[in-house]
Amino acid sequence: MSVTRIGAVVRARARRIANRALDLYDTRSSGLPERLQTPILIVGAPRSGSTLLYQVMVERFDLAYLSNRHCRWHGAPSLVERRVRGAGHTATYSSHHGFETGATAPSECGGYWYRFFPRSPHHVPIAAADPAKLRGLRRSVARFGAEAGRPIVFKNLFCSLRLEPIAAALPEALFLVIERDLLDNARSLLASRMRRFGGYSQWWSAEPPGIERLRALPPEQQVVEQIRGVAAAIASARETIGADRFLDVGYESLCENPRLTTAAIGEFCARHGTHLKVHGEIPQRFDRAPGAAIDRALESALEHYARSG
């Protein structure tokens, strides 16, 4: 192993130790604000347009969010926010599998959410959630919001499969459900598998309930059922949590008229007593991502299954 590589390993290990120590500060019960800044969670299937919605929200509204800088010290993002509060970010509207480069770019920050939920399984019903971890989540979000002084938008699609425990910890939370044309979404998932693994068979991203059964299906059926499974989990949580706390956002509508879409989001939040301050301009429209090219035979099988299922 090279000296450079050894140095990187040592720094990563030191950062893990530091984040564990920061977690103790972040989740302590003392010094919490009386009122929680409203958390707004973007949820949906992978490759549904969630990253674009996240970028648009951060650019359009005066919102706190977990940036790449926060994620580096995910054990206590409130302390990072104390140092960088008000740091501007100019959206590039580009990303790679949900990741946008730059210290101030919005991040899914898996490390933050793994503090409160297991890496596996992805689906965590309320009965399986750790009450102590949920208390820690609330304290962490409360501290982050107190430092930011404004509502917070989060985007981590695994949260789509953990909505009931999240809502139990954060009863103030609102949810934006991003949806995309089923075939386009499924095709994009298959193309992502090819880019990432060099083939279509290996599973990628969120694992809905019944994952072992889904893994036994052909790839084109896997991705369709992955999308449907995430949607079903969200629908089930919506019934329990309350449909009024959810707003459906169409990817196609977001691309066609992002200003109209964000206006609807602002009105939705206002109905729940949360005012989103407009602070940035966004494009009048976005070109939809071009249809991802996949194997012709696989495309035919995908279309057949999606239309007959």
48 assigned to some structural domain: yes
Q: Which pLDDT does position 91 carry in this prediction?
A: 73
Instruction: Kindly list the distances between the CA atom of residue 124 and the CA atoms of 131, 204, 243, in Å, as whole numbers in the listed order.
Output: 12, 18, 20
User: 142-198, pLDDT tens digit by residue?
Assistant: 999 999 999 999 999 999 999 999 999 999 999 999 999 999 999 999 999 999 999
Q: Tell me which residue of 83, 107, 87, 86 sits closest to 97, measured CA to CA.
A: 107
pLDDT higher than 80, residue 33: yes
State how many domains the chain has: 1
User: 106-152, pLDDT tens digit by residue?
Assistant: 999 999 999 999 999 999 999 999 999 999 999 999 999 999 999 99
User: 206-246, pLDDT tens digit by residue?
Assistant: 999 999 999 999 999 999 999 999 999 999 999 999 999 99
6 assigned to some structural domain: no
Q: Which pLDDT does position 173 carry in this prediction?
A: 98
83 assigned to some structural domain: yes
25 assigned to some structural domain: no
pLDDT higher than 80, residue 9: no
Q: Report whether 67 contacts 104 (CB < 8 A).
A: yes
168 assigned to some structural domain: yes
Give CA torsion, residues 248, 184, 187, 298, to 10 deg. 130
Q: Which residues of 17-48 are buried (b: 16+ CB within 10 A; e: fewer)?
A: eebeebbeebbeeeeeeeebbbbbbbbbbbbb
User: 82-109, pLDDT tens digit by residue?
Assistant: 988 766 676 776 656 556 788 999 999 9
Higher-confidence position of 8 and 258? 258
Q: Output the CA angle 68-73-74, nearest 5 degrees.
A: 85
How large is the average pLDDT for residues 48-77?
A: 96
228 assigned to some structural domain: no
pLDDT higher than 80, residue 19: yes
The position carrying tokens 């898996």 is 110
Q: Which pLDDT does position 10 carry in this prediction?
A: 56
pLDDT higher than 90, residue 6: no
236 assigned to some structural domain: no
What residue numbers bound the domain in which 265 lies?
Answer: 37-183+245-290
pLDDT band at 258 (very low <50, low <70, confident <90, very high): very high
Q: Which pLDDT does position 15 carry in this prediction?
A: 86
pLDDT higher than 80, residue 288: yes
195 assigned to some structural domain: no
Q: Is the pTM of this model over 0.85?
A: yes
Q: Report the CATH number at residue 55.
A: 3.40.50.300
